[in-house]
Amino acid sequence: MNPPFEDENHNPIQEVSDCVVLAGGAGRRMGGPKAFLEYEGHLLIERIHSKVSPLFDRACVSVKTSSALDQIPHLKWHAVIEDPPECSSLHEALGNIIETVQAPVFIVAVDLPELTASMIRKICSAYTPGTSVIVEADDRPQPLAAVWDTTALDFSSPQDRDLALLAWVRRAPFQTLIWPQDFPGAVESSPFRNLNEPGDIPGKGIDL
């Protein structure tokens, strides 16, 4: 059974055809890879797959090694993108994805279970060639639920060698959407908060 899919428009997104789910995190603080954690009855990777697969012509997944997907053979991906062997940061992982896809791509972290299909559609509909799209929520840019244009690669390696992901965002041309103002019908709680501790998952709090 798939998680609820609330988007009434079932047509693929026109502005962006490619999506890559970031699912390679080790999840050390969570006790295991985040992709395989259960959230409201479904694995996180199942939950995001059910949302993005109807929206994009090519829904892909990024992992450390493809063998990580052996336990979920029922999920079908257009392609599996493996991190380079020397990859040690999100900055490098995103750069590898953008270079591999060579097209505007919606990149989304696997641990954003409250991100809805209609929100994804809103972000992608703001895309225009040459400019990436990012949401500002919780007083900061959210690069792990954003449309990345190939032009962002021109700003990935600055002279000052500041390779922090948010520094890259500040350098590259981005159109910014503001949460919740630019999302009609949005609730107050931000869907851009990653799951970082067991207590972030309903029913997984620490027993006292």
Strand partners, 43: 38
Q: Domain spans of the chain?
A: 18-200
Three-state DSSP class for 191? coil
- CATH hierarchy code of domain 18-200: 3.90.550.10
Q: What pLDDT is stored for residue 86 in this prediction?
A: 84
Ranges under pLDDT 70 in the chain: 1-10, 26-29, 31, 203-208
What pLDDT does 205 receive? 44
> So what's the pLDDT on residue 33?
86
- Buried (b) or exposed (e) across 110-137, using 16+ Cβ within 10 A? bbbbebbbbbbbbbbebbeeebbbbbbb
Q: Please, what is the angle between helix 44-52 and helix 117-125, to 10°?
A: 50
pTM above the 0.85 mark?
A: yes
Query: Which residue intervals of 35-152 are DSSP H helices?
Result: 44-52, 90-101, 117-125
